[in-house]
Amino acid sequence: MKQPTLVIKLGSAVLSNSDGTTNQTVIRKIADEVAGLSNQYRIILVSSGAVSSGRNFLRQYKGTLTERKAAAAIGNPILIEMYRKQFARHDITVAQALCERHHFSNRNQFLQLKNTFETFWKNSVLPIVNENDLISNNELKFSDNDELATLLAIGFNAQKMLLCTSSKGLLNQEGKIIPLVQAIDNSILSCITKDKSSVGLGGMLSKITFTQLATSLGIEVIMCGLEGKTPLRQALRGEAGTWFRAKRSNLKERQKWLLSGSVTVGQIHVDEGAEKALHARKSLLTVGIKRTEGQFSAGEVVQLMNLQEMIIGVGKTRLSAAEIQSLRNSKNQMAAHANDIVLF
């Protein structure tokens, strides 16, 4: 039988020293653990750390978008060489895969990506993935590597996804790790802060958003740190971090692709009544829309957001952003048909 797929996402904060440089001791530990796990899983490693590996080569670095792109281009070969060196100790070859958002939005391109990864695994090669920061468009780039890891997990039908983070898991109001989350409800959302690390793009809200997407499509998500000798194995055994239980998913391939792969060019924020109607499999009417973000046209795919700023699904619109704004108070004006909406 084919081995199950495991996606491991490593955040910038867990890979960095206090001065922002990449911690090579951590890279060595990761290589040791992943080498052992490769006997059980087909592994995709999504690694941050390119920007932190390259930013010290730029004079008076201030973290602008252009400087981040330049730092990533400098840091990517440095980072991949660190991985190459450590995995070579286990006779494992690594491959660098730099992805862009359209690789997921275009079905044919994604299938090509999938076939290439299958070739990697057949030849015992470990794919290490990051975004192609150098040419990524600001409107069409991944929000962060939490999103990239989630799209890979969904696209490759992963059984589990590990999100390695400096918080070591989801913390409750007292600052203690919550070991198990059966469902992401209001009690869980109340624990989330919008803090980000000094070296990363994401935060806990991002992690919970994409964890909700992954678990809704049948993927177990474990949020953990990298402390101890075998942190990944401990997390996979449920002995460390926070385990988010997956739901059973009956979605078809097209629906999964629509949820995970379509380029979302904007957002529609709905009120509580519209959210309930959507969960009742009804179409989205303009009267239930609070506001829109982005300049999208009719026929484009947008994210659907609730009042808590959480993504509840995606939909292909029948109206442009401008048309929705002008028709918000009109009754029986359809913004998106139920058949073109997929919810988590």
| Residue-wise pLDDT tens digits, 147-176 | 889 989 988 889 999 999 988 999 988 889
Write out the H or E segment, with its range, that includes residue 171: none
Return the higher-pLDDT residue of 181 and 105.
181
**What is the rounded CA–CA span in Å between residue 153 and residue 147?**
10
Token pair for 37:
């796990």
Mean pLDDT of the chain: 87
Among 52-56, 114-118, 184-188, 273-277, whose mean pLDDT is lowest? Answer: 184-188
Write out the H or E segment, with its range, that includes residue 163: strand 160-164
The number of CA neighbours under 13 Å toward the Cβ of 173 is 4
DSSP-derived pairing of the beta strands 311-316 and 301-305: antiparallel
- Nearest Cα to 14, choosing from 271, 159, 207, 265? 207
Averaged over 283-308, what is the pLDDT? 90
Residue 140 scores a pLDDT above 50: no
**What is the rounded CA–CA span in Å between residue 35 and residue 124?**
11
Residue 199's pLDDT band, with cuts at 50, 70 and 90, is very low
Give Dmax (Cα) for the chain. Answer: 66
Residue 247's pLDDT band, with cuts at 50, 70 and 90, is confident
CB atoms within 10 A of CB 31: 23
Beta partners for residue 129, in sequence order: 46, 97
The three-point CA angle 176-181-186 to 5° equals 90
Averaged over 14-23, what is the pLDDT? 84
Token pair for 156:
């490759």
pLDDT of residue 321: 93
Residue 76 scores a pLDDT above 80: yes
pLDDT of residue 200: 45
Residue 201's pLDDT band, with cuts at 50, 70 and 90, is very low
Q: Are 283 and 248 in contact (CB under 8 A)?
A: no
- State pLDDT tens for residues 98-112: 988 777 777 788 889
Q: Are 268 and 289 in contact (CB under 8 A)?
A: yes
pLDDT of residue 195: 57
Among 192-196, 205-209, 282-286, whose mean pLDDT is lowest? Answer: 192-196
Q: Are 7 and 152 in contact (CB under 8 A)?
A: yes
